[in-house]
Amino acid sequence: MTNSLRDDERIRSTLDRLYAANDAQEADNQRWLSGEGSRSTIGTEAEVEAGRAFWADKYVALDRDKAELCYLLCRMRGARRIVEAGTSFGVSTLFLATAVRDNGGGVVIGTERETEKVAVARQNFESAGVSDLIELREGDLRQTLAPDDGPVDLLLLDIWVAMVPATVELVAPRIPVGGVIIADNTITRRADYEGLFNFLDDPSNGFTTMTLPMSNGLEMAVRTT
């Protein structure tokens, strides 16, 4: 079985470069979050908006082990159509696109509102050789993720928590049985994810969910009915 994360030098070297850049920013990120930026990722839409200047050049990449898990889930599912809410500089997108390519082809639909990040993400996709598999939509995802876009095998929620309810409302109805929702930081930010958990815990929505004990928590929900 093909595993391009392991075997493709362009993908490996691009990911190594991006994670090195991400890690170099981590100390500044933590200082900001422990002070004036404490509500800039989990607060109201207005509080998130106030922190945009700080986060504009930050990678805030999904932890590598979590991204590798997403790759494996996509391979196991045979995913051909994936939505990523919150692309940033496209680090986790590369794992998703690699899985789609290894599955035989398809598309990763990414969302990002920052024009500068969109430009850099597209350069990263070219560097890794997977740009043909990614449709990056610039703007507010409430407009760019049309509700009639077709089935979705996996939804990755790697976006500010304030935007999660709108994303789930748009995408979850298009996830078939066996499809997956992944959400990051669901242990440390559990209270802020109240809307997501209310949705996942409602039997009428058809999902079974588990909080994985990875750094800060990772939610994996599967549509079972």
Domain extent, residue 204, equals 4-223
pLDDT at 40: 64
Mean of all residue pLDDT scores within the chain: 94
| Residues forming beta bridges with residue 193, ordered by sequence position | none
Asked if the model's pLDDT at residue 42 lies above 70, the reply is no
Domains identified in the chain, total number: 1
pLDDT at 52: 78
User: What average pLDDT score do residues 148-169 get?
Assistant: 93
pLDDT at 33: 80
pLDDT at 162: 87
pLDDT at 41: 66
Alpha helices, H only, 9-82: 9-34, 45-50, 52-55, 64-77
Could you tell me which of 94, 61, 95, 92 has the C-alpha nearest to residue 75? 95
To the nearest 10°, report the CA torsion of 182, 184, 189, 190.
20
Band (pLDDT 50/70/90 cuts) for residue 53 is confident
> At 48, which CATH number?
3.40.50.150
Band (pLDDT 50/70/90 cuts) for residue 43 is low
Band (pLDDT 50/70/90 cuts) for residue 190 is very high
Is 0.85 topped by the overall pTM?
yes
Widest CA span in the chain = 48
pLDDT at 146: 83
pLDDT at 62: 97
Could you tell me which of 59, 162, 169, 152 has the C-alpha nearest to residue 114? 59
Asked if the model's pLDDT at residue 50 lies above 90, the reply is no
Asked if the model's pLDDT at residue 37 lies above 80, the reply is no
| Range with lowest mean pLDDT among 26-40, 160-174, 194-208 | 26-40
